[in-house]
Amino acid sequence: MKRRIIAALLATTMAVALTVGCDIKDIGKVVSEKTEKKEDTSAKITIGFSQVGVESDWRLANTDSMKTTFSEENGYKLIVKNAGQKQENQVAAIREFIEEKVDYIVLAPVTEDGWDVVLKEAKDAGIPVIVVDRMVDVSDDSLYTAWIGSDFEMESEKVCAWLKAYADAKGMKEINIAHIQGTEGASAQIGRTDGLETAAKEYGWNIVATQTGEFTKNKGRDAMEAMLKAKSNINVVYCENDNEAAGAIEAIEAAGKTVGPDGDILVLSFDATNDGLKNVLSGKIACDAECNPLHGPRVEDVIKKLEKKEKVDQILYVEEEMFAYDDTVTSVKIGEQEYKVTPVTERVIDERAY
């Protein structure tokens, strides 16, 4: 913002100098170079994006959405810094963005806690912070201008409502769940865990094993392997994202067990990524709740409003769908709201944007 004001002043100075006709050959050259250089970057809105990392297909789609939206041709300069799932790297990235006097900071926080100090530094530097995906738990909500993301507990309620209806329809008497969690302390992990634990209490399900998969395929496979060795009665695995589910499926099949409609173990998952829905289509994942990663256009809408000094809502939830491998359960009801469950076909996958 400040850089663009300076550029405008430089341009005005030059215009005034030209008007008075003074010999600005050299000055003009320096000013025009400066102005040119400034104009070259100053017309662009500079955005510093602190991203969690590259742990999942969801994350890659999220980064891609930001890059596609905030391109040079769209009038932006986007600086993306991946933190390798380490909060200290995100804090360092935010400090670099402050140093570079970016116009906006977009933060996809790895976990909810630990942001008060660095977000206060951004606020003191006059740089608006837009949080995407997971939430930050701060003592002062004015430390961020807007949050855009999913209702993770609602996602879980929808999957658990599907499991309840499906189990009733199939006459499944005992539900023994292996729970593969996402990154501990991430809003998605907190919401999807709370939803499952609440439903298990309400419906009398047994959560027989819990282990983190950190939203990755490898750790999802390791967790499933360990839980299969420890427990022989698992008939449902609840994975907190599609990458964990892909790993869990590998471990289940390596152990000589089967997944799918008539299999030994029902696989539940979140994200509804392209690979996730392919696993639903093949019958390996039974139910997959969408977690939409395409936040780029949503962030741009907030930035455009801020540029025009318009008010923005601080909390913006994203609408999301539900998918399943068959039409045993075609909708689920949460409170007064009915949610459609779409049986996955080739066409459903082709029509998806990610």
Binding residues for ligand GZL, rule: CB under 6 A, are 55-56, 58-59, 133-134, 150, 186, 188, 215, 241, 270-271, 291
- Number of Cα atoms under 13 Å in the Cβ half of residue 293: 25
CA-to-CA distance for 239 and 213, rounded, in angstroms?
8
Q: How many CB atoms lie within 10 A of CB 14?
A: 17
Whether 225 contacts 244, CB under 8 Å:
no
Residue for token digits 């998806």? 352
- CB of 97 or CB of 270, closer to ligand GZL: 270
Smallest distance, ligand GZL to C-beta of residue 294, A: 11
Whole-number Å distance between alpha carbons of 164 and 176: 13
Cβ distance to ligand GZL smaller for residue 261 or 297: 297
Tokens of 197: 């634990």
Q: What burial class does residue 349 get, using C-beta atoms within 10 Å of its C-beta: 0-12 exposed, 13-18 middle, 19+ buried?
A: middle
Asked if 340 and 348 touch (Cβ cutoff 8 Å), the reply is no
Work out how close the CB of 1 gets to ligand GZL at its nearest, in angstroms, rounded to a whole number: 30
CA 254 to the chain's CA centroid: 31
CB of 247 to ligand GZL, least distance (A): 12
Nearer to ligand GZL, 58 or 104 (CB): 58
Q: 160 or 208, CB closer to ligand GZL?
A: 160
Between 127 and 148, whose beta carbon lies closer to ligand GZL?
Answer: 148
Q: Which is nearer to ligand GZL, 102 or 291 (CB)?
A: 291
* Distance, CA of 120 to CA of 127 (rounded, Å): 10
